[in-house]
Chains A and B, each alone.
Chain A
Amino acid sequence: MWRFILIRFFKAFFQLLLTSLIAFLIVKSAPGDPIASLVGGREFMTDHDYQRVAHNLGLDRPIALQYGTWLVNIFQGDWGHSIRDGRFVSTTILECINATLILIGISCFFMIGIAVFVGCWAGLRARTNIDYIISSLSLISSATPAFWLGLLLILLFSVSLNWFPSSGQLPIGSDGALSDYLVHLTLPVSCIVLTHIGPYIRLVRGSVQDVLTTDYYRAAQARGLPKLVLIKNYILPNALTPFTVWIGLTFPLLVGGTFIVEWVFGWPGIGRLFLQVSMARDYPMIMGIVIATSVLVIIGNLLADFLVLWLNPRLRRKTSSTNDND
């Protein structure tokens, strides 16, 4: 098992490395001359100046070396400055990431809870009207673009009914801010949950149905165990493992979806920041956010993997006793 954990960390490290490389290459191959753009155009500098600046910025060195330097800086916590306003990339990201974590955390909490509950419910009542309604709704959910649902929610609840504000929350920590914060969270969280929950409900429903047809479940049922015990001891544990695996696999999608929702609702997280700096072509910020997001996603994946290991004692023993040559 320790070997498994070690290998898993190794993989996480490679994931980070590859993402950073992709981000680096994309930004490097972006059109436009970064040196010339510093002074507003190539015609404003002599060839000598040009080479001097290039040398000072390290841009005349081989690309692999540039990447290496950049990576070392990242690891040392030197993430550079924003091109636009000169703010430190690292502090700006740290300021924004809290808001994103809160949004993702709360959304995940509700999504998992609702998906497990509703999925079980539909699975236990397969082929009834309730099941059909739930299944249809989850199909519609996965066909709905998050930004569109966001706009609809704003249109309905902010513009027409004026129940919830669409944006403009106070920062957390100030007086009366908590309730204000929660009110502002309602719409974005609903939007994320509603547009991402479909596949999860279907997955839980499917695995519950699978359990219902197994012999060991039928045997337990025949022994006359109460329904709640059956659900708690037989159905849930078996439905949870594929569910957790799936959450780990789709976590990158969830993060992407959150970014869009942040943009629509003006939520001050790194998603909105990312879209702003992308459109402004603020390279150091872009790269910083890509790295930060990758770390977030990779941590999420790691958590899901270890959760699967913890949920599944069989797997734990297997990975410790046999090799995984295959």
Chain B
Amino acid sequence: MSNSILVLENVSKSYRSVGNWLGEPHYVTAVDNISLTIQPGQIYGLVGESGSGKSTLARLILVLEKPDSGKIIINGQDINAISGKLLRALRSKVQMIFQDPTSALDPSQTVEKAITEPLLNFTNMKHSARTQQVLELLKQVQLPERLMNAYPHQLSGGEKQRVCIARALAIHPKLIILDEPTSALDKSTQINILNLLKNLQKQHGLTYLLISHDLAVLNYICTHIGVMKHGKIIEEGYRKQIITSCTNSYTNQLIKTARLLNNFSLNIEYDN
């Protein structure tokens, strides 16, 4: 328990949704009493239908929003109990890759500036060392050096997502949350990015929380899978166990759909 990287205890979050002007506001429970533990080195996949609260969960873990109740513990620290400098220091431990790489990059920043920014915030490297580091990161995510001075609108979707990955890697996080990192990309780019993520995970000993609609993606890369519905995790376990012998009817349906759409059976023989 003490060496788990992320622990959620009974976390809930609800939003006030459009109500009447004077009448009762009514609430949507986006995350409903979720408990979850992720150990270092795991790739935890979270799957669920649209609106089941996956992105909300990610935002809660990144302290972009506060939970209504429950505890979120990262690296042994309760993130809602700290603020200011400590919270900022903690942010270097958890990074996020967003679904849409286009809107996740500031259109007024060059690639170099975007990747340098976390270095500026968390390290006191010299200018030349920073440039060196950026070059190194670009190599790691397999981007050519000439893109250093490009603006986001001059890049393709896959290139942009690689920039985002390099940016997240820059400050050596322990946990990376990936909210549908490949759903805005075409199939072949998707596979490339997934392979890249897989390699990086091995190289740096990272932990991933990977959110996706697509069971095939999770099956390709994850070690563990959790299934979310209406803000609750209804089933979780090892990938093979979920894919081959799930107990829940909703999970079963998801697997069936994934099989139908992918036109062949989900290959369980990936060596995760």
* A interface, CB within 8 angstroms of B: 3, 322-323, 325
Contact = CB atoms under 8 A, between A and B. Distances in A.
B18 interface: yes
Nearest to A3: B21
Interface of B: 18-21
Contacts, number: 8
Contacts of A322: 18
Nearest to A326: B18
A161 to B, nearest CB: 57
Query: Chain B: interface secondary structure?
Result: loop
B27 to A, nearest CB: 15
A325 B21 CA distance: 7
8 contacts: A3-B21, A322-B18, A323-B18, A323-B19, A323-B20, A323-B21, A325-B18, A325-B21
A188 to B, nearest CB: 47
Nearest to A324: B21
A278 B179 CA distance: 64
Contacts of A323: 18-21
Given A3-B21, A323-B19, A325-B21, 5 more contacts: A322-B18, A323-B18, A323-B20, A323-B21, A325-B18
Contacts of B19: 323
A43 to B, nearest CB: 62
A3 B20 CA distance: 13
A323 B21 CA distance: 6
B21 to A, nearest CB: 4
A322 B18 CA distance: 9
B209 to A, nearest CB: 32
A322 B20 CA distance: 8
Nearest to B22: A323
A325 B22 CA distance: 11
A323 B19 CA distance: 8
Nearest to B23: A323
Contacts of B20: 323
A320 B117 CA distance: 48
Nearest to B21: A323
A3 B21 CA distance: 11
A100 B21 CA distance: 42
B11 to A, nearest CB: 27
The listed residue with most B CB atoms (<10 A of its CB), out of A3, A322, A325, is A325
A25 B259 CA distance: 75
The listed residue with most B CB atoms (<10 A of its CB), out of A3, A322, A323, is A323
B97 to A, nearest CB: 30
A149 B161 CA distance: 58
A131 to B, nearest CB: 32
Contacts of A325: 18, 21
Contacts of A3: 21
Nearest to A322: B18
A322 B19 CA distance: 9
A126 B129 CA distance: 56
B32 to A, nearest CB: 25
Contacts of B21: 3, 323, 325
A42 B19 CA distance: 64
A321 to B, nearest CB: 11
Nearest to B19: A323
B16 to A, nearest CB: 10
